[in-house]
Amino acid sequence: MSKARLDRVSEQAIDWMVKLRAGTPDAALLERFNAWLALDRAHSQAWEKLQERLGGSFNTVRALDRRLPGQAGEARQVLLQPQASRRDALRVIAGLGLLGGGAWLGARSPLADAWLVDLHTGRGERQHFNLADGSRLSLNANSAVDLRFDDQQRLVILRRGELIIDVAPDANRPLRVRTAEGELRALGTRFLVAQEQDASRLVVLQHSVQAQLFDGTTQVIPEGQSALLLPGRIALVNGDQRYRSDWLSGRLNVLDESLDQVVEALRPYSRGFVRVDPKVRGLRVQGVFPLDQPERALDALAETLPIRVDRYSPWLTLIGPK
């Protein structure tokens, strides 16, 4: 049985993705990219869909690597490296089924079916859910969870993104949130969990939460404190981190983060591909930014930092030094 091939426009979109990730795009390359986008509506549709499927920061591939490490290792090695070739990128994307063959704009593959989740949000979307036990779950944009609720347990599996949960009391079934690094067990009522690139972030909004790594390392985190679940250790975070829940109100509150971290928080709300030049990724940021208007947030950053934000189309934004 022969493998389904990606169509020509899909291959071209992947080709452009690889070119734009390799080094710093020059003016000639950007001009050719814009000409390709404008040539046919199918081109811009393919490009936008590619960014939705893979994510501008490739968190989709990172999440897959955590969930299916044996199957996704090659994709991670290829797609997360700027020097990846177009042929290698095309091969692993098609092989993993992320794009679903020749009709990848809307097709589903066996792997895509395995990714189906119980609750999820899309780009720029926040939602609140009332769970069967009376708990209330809020999901930030581009987040997904699976639920395992029965007579014996209440388990929320965070597949990607960020959640806040208000836990309904149940002495016989403590509510747990599982991430790629471990589990958070509710000892109170309200907390935030975010799945980051190489860690899980916990912010305790009310009462306390027991954090446990898969190797058995355990620590109770009290109200107002935050911790990162890392491979082999649980690290407390200095300062009151409860401001991180401001996304519930559509605000990104930043006290002292790198520009790269701020852009990462805006990606679930941004359309298309956003690239941050390595020269400015470490710049420190403070401020409050509107999540639902990521373009306005980037403009505000450009007014206070030595950076420039260049938009070459609705699907391509480059951030670099002034």
Domains annotated for the chain, with CATH where assigned, are 8-114 (no CATH), 119-242 (2.60.120.1440), 250-321 (3.55.50.30)
Q: Which of 61-65, 75-79, 199-203 has the highest mean pLDDT?
A: 199-203
Cβ-based neighbours of 1, under 8 Å, separated by 6 or more = none
- pTM of this prediction? 0.70
For residue 20, what pLDDT is reported?
76
Residue 74 reports pLDDT greater than 50? no
Instruction: Please state, rounded to an integer, the average pLDDT across all residues of the chain.
Output: 81
Residue 123 reports pLDDT greater than 60? yes
Tens of pLDDT, residue by residue over 131-175, are 999 999 999 998 999 999 999 999 999 988 999 999 999 989 999
Tens of pLDDT, residue by residue over 215-247, are 999 999 999 999 999 989 999 999 899 999 999
Long-range contacts of 213-221 (CB under 8 A, 24+ apart): 213/181, 213/182, 214/181, 214/182, 214/183, 217/182, 220/187
pLDDT average, residue stretch 76-88: 48
For residue 40, what pLDDT is reported?
87
210, β-bridge pairs: 185, 220
